[in-house]
Amino acid sequence: MLAEKALELVRELERSIDGSLPPYNEDRVRQVLEEMRVLYEQNQKDVSATVAGESGLFSGVQVRHAALERNKRCLLAYLYNRIEQIKKMRWEFGSVLPTEVKYNLCEQEMQWFGRYNKLLANYMMSIGGSGGLDLTQDMKPPKTLYVEVRCLANHGEFETQDGNVIVLKKNSQHFLLRSECEHLIRQGILEHIVH
Amino acid sequence: MSTLEDLKDESGEEVETMTAAEVLRKLEEAWLNEKFAEDLLEAKTDLVECMMEQISEMEDNISRAKKGDFKVSIHRLEIDRIRYVLSSYLRSRLLKIEKFATHLLEEEKVRKDDEPSKLSPEEFTFAKDYDKSLESHLRNLALRHMPAHIQSLDPKQIAVRPNLDKYVFLRVNEDTEGVLVEEETLDTGEEIVDMKRGDQHIMRYRPVAPLVASGAVSLI
């Protein structure tokens, strides 16, 4: 059926588990573009035939044109929603993506990610005149100043604001300033212990 | 080290007419409105800048305090809270700016000089660059490989627009009479509501949008 492949792309994204991004399906995108090219050429042929005097081709042209539009729409929706997901991950993981995520992005998406990073950084720097404000911090309303955390991975040394150096070793527990370790919790290096 | 009250009064001198507590209250109101409104509201750049100043001042005060002073941790928590409100406010704006970038830029284009802009200059730059980057991304990956006659992207067609007909909860701050809630249609007559201070309503966002902007009602 016409435009089936394009719809399959959208479905693929829709079916992916929340918060994850399936690999960029370059093959299928190419297939869709190929289908569009064929449709277009056929339309060109029929249009020139109609101009030359043949009749009865018009409805075929219209169906193909609708299929072209649908393909375009599905393809753009696919790309746009991937971008939305990539943006979400920027807020979650910070400016450097984990390798397994990077692997699923195509070249241009990586470039876009870099561009978005820069945009965001520029904007956050310009807030309030001097120094800016890191909007990726303070994602949840603070309840307490300090939180108890457990290390899930070896992270090495970590210097706290007051100059103490602690070693974040796997399975060790610490009592840290929430504002300091928030991004480590989001990266999955620390786990917030709730009693 | 002064107490919390002193600290606020001290830094309040910086502001011409408002005390720090008032700025915070205003910011919190702007934050809630921004959170619950469908479209982007006017940027409260002054409040943000003022609050940022307050924070750095409070931080200065704290760093001068004795180590282990009990009051320090209370102040720190207060700063954390303010910073959360501030970040959350700017974050929800940014989210809307990204979502409605094309639409906002279009609005900006037809805006007359005497009308205030919804975007602060920094936000405008961000929206412009974001919109551009998104378009070039779509163009690079898909559009330029398509047949020539459907390569175009009509901003009017693709722009995501806020749904102004969504229902919102609101509280009335100032008595307002004769708010036209429903235009007259063939089936029903027009509906007009008088709002009294302290009342709470649930209604469509569109008719009350100007009241939210002027501060006569707050979204809750």
pLDDT in tens, B25-66: 888 888 888 888 888 888 888 888 888 888 888 888 887 877
Residue A78 lies in a domain: yes
Residue A141 lies in a domain: no
Residue A134 lies in a domain: no
| CATH code where residue A92 lies | 1.20.58.1030
Domains of chain B: 4-162 (1.20.58.1030), 163-220 (3.40.5.60)
Q: Which tens digits make up the pLDDT trace of B106-151?
A: 888 888 777 778 888 888 888 889 988 988 888 888 888 887 777 7
Give this prediction's pTM: 0.80
Q: Which tens digits make up the pLDDT trace of A2-15?
A: 778 888 888 888 88
CB neighbour class for B112 (10 Å; exposed up to 12, middle 13-18, buried from 19): exposed
Same domain, A161 and A88: no
Give the whole-angstrom CA distance, residue B54 versus residue B23.
10
Which residue has 């929706």 as its token pair? A77
Give the whole-angstrom CA distance, residue A69 versus residue B25.
50
Residue A65 lies in a domain: yes
Residue A160 forms contact with B (CB below 8 Å): no
Q: Which tens digits make up the pLDDT trace of B1-11?
A: 334 444 444 44
Crossing angle of the two packed helices B20-36 and B45-63, in degrees rounded to 10: 130
DSSP 8-state assignment for residue B64:
T
Which residue has 């470039």 as its token pair? A111
A136's tokens: 């990726």
Per CB-CB distance under 8 Å, the chain B contacts of A141 are 81, 84
Rg over alpha carbons for chain B, rounded to the nearest Å, is 22
Give the whole-angstrom CA distance, residue B194 versus residue B179.
6
Amino acid at A99: T
Residue A59 lies in a domain: yes
> What average pLDDT does range A33-61 have in this prediction?
85
Q: Give the three-state DSSP class for B159.
A: coil
Same domain, A65 and A23: yes
Note down the domain range covering A55: 4-126
Interface-testing mutation among B60, B85, B137, with chain A (most A C-beta atoms within 10 A): B137
Q: Taking a contact as any Cβ pair under 8 Å apart, which residues of chain B between 103 and 142 contact chain A?
A: 122-123, 125-126, 129-130, 133-134, 137-138, 140-142
Give the whole-angstrom CA distance, residue B137 versus residue B104.
20
Same domain, A105 and A172: no
Same domain, A117 and A152: no
Q: What is the pLDDT of residue B53?
A: 84
ipTM: 0.77
The strand pairing partners of B170, in sequence order, are: B201, B219
CB contact under 8 A, A123 and B125: yes
The count of domains in chain A is 2
Give the whole-angstrom CA distance, residue A50 versus residue A36.
21
Question: Which residues have CB under 8 Å from B156's CB, separation 6+?
Answer: B106
Residue A132 lies in a domain: no
Same domain, A103 and A19: yes
Residue A131 lies in a domain: no
The strand pairing partners of A165, in sequence order, are: A159
> What average pLDDT does range A129-148 have in this prediction?
75
CB contact under 8 A, A144 and B77: yes
Same domain, A118 and A170: no
CB neighbour class for A87 (10 Å; exposed up to 12, middle 13-18, buried from 19): middle
Question: How many residue contacts between A and B have a Cβ separation below 8 Å?
Answer: 100
Same domain, A52 and A92: yes
